Structure 1
Amino acid sequence: MMLTANPAARNLVETESVSVLFEWLWLLPFAAALYYPWALSWSNQAHLSGASPLVTVAIMLTAYAVPAMAFICVYLTGAQPVISGRMVLARRLACLAVAAPPAYTLLGVLLYLMKIYGHDIAVWTGLWLALIGYFTMHSSTKPVVSFPASDSAYRRLRVAHGISSLAIMVAFLAPHLFNHLLGVFGADVHRAVMEALRVVYRNAVLEPIIIVAFFFQILSGLVLIRPKTISRADMLDALQTASGAYLTLFIASHINSVFTLARYFGTETDYKWAVADPVGLVADAWSIRLLPHYSLAVFFLIAHLACGMRVVMRNHDVRPAVYSASTWGVILVGGLVTAIITAGMIGARL
């Protein structure tokens, strides 16, 4: 006589199997991160060899797929009903993989400063393989660390983070993004506006304040991201977490590039410098990494601000339909701004 398995026991086994799957989900974006520099290199080679632009774009899109895959992992690990310690680790590692574009740019700058040329992919591969090996061996020992979301110190830090981001947006980022939008009209138009804006944000008083504010955003963001990776999250919560991780590494990378490469070595950090003129981002083997690096930074910046606005609206009892529509509306605007800026960076002109 065939025995019927206990439904409750069967469901428990299935739940545990799914849990184990999500606990190891971080391996997918980490493996994809190994591919990331190759996608950039092959896209550059396709362009230089005279291949169809569709081929070049298709290969480049696989580079963008790396942070996209990592974001999906951030979302999936946060959407589970029960979040284990290893699942928390998986989400945090997926956040790290989201930031692969600025991480690769930062690595390239550091290797350049150390006069190590032509070995970016080899060093990148070694670092990610080391991370995979380390976290594979130690992931089973990572516990869940509780962090009370209602803690008053956390709430005050979150408010300070939001106020600081708003101040940076008004004083620097909004004018800076507007300036980059003008890239589609040519480098001369961009430079004329840039020189007018620099009178404000390169002011001897304001510029140090902006830099300190950026460092505060990095440090406070690292603290604020911790509880986000412990609790359950919907897609917009996941987007806020993933975009925060990306921006943290991007800001660090960008400040290092501007103040070390540009200010120290005397390079003019204008639009021509940003888009590798006259060669172009896609045609330059090193600078092609700046295409996803910059374009995703624009999108994630606006998306992060939109998600932060959503939290504020939700905490002030705004109706869910209103704050959801507002958030997605700003994100769509961010996508449009990103598309225009990216088009200008690759040579589109009006």
Structure 2
Amino acid sequence: MSRVQKLTHTRLEWLWLLPFAAALYYPWALQWSNQAHVAEAGAPVTLALMLSAYAVPVLAFYCVFVTGIQPVMTARVVLARRLACLAVAAPPAYTLMGVLLYLMKINGHDLWVWSGLWLALIAYFSMVSSTLPSIDFSRHARTYVKLRVAHGIASVAILLVFLAPHLFNHLFGVLGSDAHRAVMEVLRGVYRNGWLEPIIIVTFFFQILSGLVLIRPRTQQRADLLDALQTASGAYLALFIASHINSVFTLARYFGTDTDYAWAVAEPVGLLADAWSIRLVPHYSLAVFLLIAHLACGLRGVLRNHGVSETRCATLTWTVIGIGALATLVITAGMLGVRV
């Protein structure tokens, strides 16, 4: 048994403090990164502060992984694991909260509202009984399997119709806004079709709801690294999709804003220089990586069910994840103003 697996029960009881502290720190990391960039403190300082913002979901994912490999899944461990999944989704949650506060004309108080929400969450977490009510999914096994299959089929459909072309479009960001717009105008003629767009939106909402149902039993089961990645990325994407749809349809289109590449990267100021928009750097970049990682882990499950060896499953999964990491770097570079 590894050293990580030998964590004592007492340490696991307090493991939830790590994602909690990380989530509280997240808006401060963004604020200090913006201030360092505006003050021209130097690229190393700004980069270090931005990396500390990325460390928040990384630390939270570590907690998801550690709690998932324990031999005994107690009620407190499951609660800590669910809190860690929520902390992994701190970037889209913080963006969603910021948009909602903007719509309510509550400006300049994002950091304090965020802190208050997390303190309230921890107060609830601390008062929850150690006996965790759970659903016996073995009694609903056939329904659960059908939902999982439907979730997978919907994922493939939305990947082919929207996500793959959308990510391909964003790769053109490193060539400039004009190149990105040229591709975007062609693609918009497809996925903004009067009958197709509503289907895409409904499918996204189905993915959110079905994904949340599928996540719950997974937080009560033992899991390896890739299983933990699938669970954590699912939590992230659920909040990201909700945040993105809210931003595009409620904020941008309601106010008549063209949601093009210039809007997404806060031109001409830039994401790092804008105190509000800097949150979009981890928000978008992690979404790209975790989307591809989530799809890769889902593919792993399909291959396993069809008798493919664990070695081949792992090799293919990590290869796709590696491709996702490369695509993320290119897209993020374009968002930050790198041009080729």
Q: Which runs of 4+ in 1 moved over 6 A?
A: none
Take 2:178 and 2:221, find their aligned partners in 1: how far apart are those partners? 48
2:186 counterpart (188, 193, 196): 196
More moved, 242-251 vs 146-155: 146-155
Once the two structures are superposed, residues 140-178 of structure 1 have per-residue CA deviations (whole angstroms, 9 ceiling, x without a partner) of 242454322980110000000000000000000000000
Q: Which AA in structure 2 matches 1:305?
A: L
Say whether 1:20 aligns with 2:10: yes
How much has 1:137 moved relative to structure 2? Answer: 1.9
**TM-score (normalised: structure 2):** 0.97
Say whether 1:48 aligns with 2:11: no
Q: What is the SS of the residue equivalent to 2:128? A: helix
Q: Which AA in structure 1 matches 2:303?
A: M
Q: Which AA in structure 2 matches 1:69?
A: L
Structure 1 equivalent of residue 124 of structure 2: 134
How much has 1:335 moved relative to structure 2? Answer: 0.4
Q: Which AA in structure 2 matches 1:223?
A: V
Q: In 2, are the aligned partners of 1:29 and 1:94 still within 8 Å (CA)?
A: yes
Residues 1-350 of structure 1 mapped to structure 2, 5 A cutoff: 18-148=8-138, 151-350=141-340
Once the two structures are superposed, residues 239-295 of structure 1 have per-residue CA deviations (whole angstroms, 9 ceiling, x without a partner) of 000000000000000000000111111100000000000000000000000000000
Q: In 1, are the aligned partners of 2:265 and 2:271 still within 8 Å (CA)?
A: yes
CA RMSD of aligned residues (A): 1.4
How much has 1:348 moved relative to structure 2? Answer: 0.3
Q: What is the SS of the residue equivalent to 1:101? A: helix
Q: Which AA in structure 2 matches 1:110?
A: L
Take 1:89 and 1:46, find their aligned partners in 2: how far apart are those partners? 37
Q: In 2, are the aligned partners of 1:191 and 1:271 still within 8 Å (CA)?
A: yes
How much has 1:20 moved relative to structure 2? Answer: 2.8
Take 1:45 and 1:159, find their aligned partners in 2: how far apart are those partners? 47
**Pairs aligned (count):** 336
Q: In 2, are the aligned partners of 1:105 and 1:290 still within 8 Å (CA)?
A: yes
Q: Which AA in structure 1 matches 2:223?
A: A
Q: In 2, are the aligned partners of 1:88 and 1:144 still within 8 Å (CA)?
A: no
Q: In 2, are the aligned partners of 1:29 and 1:66 still within 8 Å (CA)?
A: yes
Q: What fraction of aligned residue pairs are identical, expressed as a percent?
A: 72
In 2 relative to 1, CA 249–65 (structure 1 residues): closer, same or farther, beyond 3 Å? Answer: same
Q: In 1, are the aligned partners of 2:137 and 2:144 still within 8 Å (CA)?
A: no
Take 1:17 and 1:236, find their aligned partners in 2: how far apart are those partners? 20
Any unmatched runs of 5+ in structure 1?
Answer: 1-14
Take 2:131 and 2:266, find their aligned partners in 1: how far apart are those partners? 46
Any unmatched runs of 5+ in structure 2?
Answer: none
Take 2:303 and 2:61, find their aligned partners in 1: how far apart are those partners? 24
